[in-house]
Amino acid sequence: MRSTSPLCPWCGKPLEAGTFMSRGGNYFLPLDAQKPHAYTQAAMEKRGAILLPPHFFSAPPVKNPAALACRTCEKIIIPYTGKGQVG
């Protein structure tokens, strides 16, 4: 029987589906960018940050995004859309 799980782009093994859980305040910052001095939407955008859901600026109820994990590579993939807005 063929697996319907997506495969890890690094090692090729099946990814484990789950949910990214957090209390907010998660973001990706490019290597050459300085950490924002303030945690505001404008400061994040100025530094080129990608806000990851759930957003610190969101009002309840918070929707946690689906995520895929590879326990072999120890990587988690969190899809996002737009400027960090969950689709």
| pLDDT confidence bin for 2, thresholds 50/70/90 | low
Query: What pLDDT is attached to residue 3?
Result: 56
Q: Which helix (H) or strand (E) holds 52?
A: strand 50-52
**What range defines the domain where residue 48 resides?**
23-77
| pLDDT confidence bin for 60, thresholds 50/70/90 | confident
Q: Enter the pTM of the model.
A: 0.68
Partners of residue 75 on adjacent β-strands: 70
**Structural domain includes residue 16:** no
**Contact assessment for residue 4 and residue 47, using Cβ atoms and an 8 Å cutoff:** no
Residue 26 pLDDT exceeds 80? yes
**Structural domain includes residue 61:** yes
Residue 16 pLDDT exceeds 60? yes
**Structural domain includes residue 35:** yes
Query: What pLDDT is attached to residue 12?
Result: 96
Q: How many CB atoms lie within 10 A of CB 13?
A: 14
Nearest-angstrom CA–CA distance, 43 and 71: 34
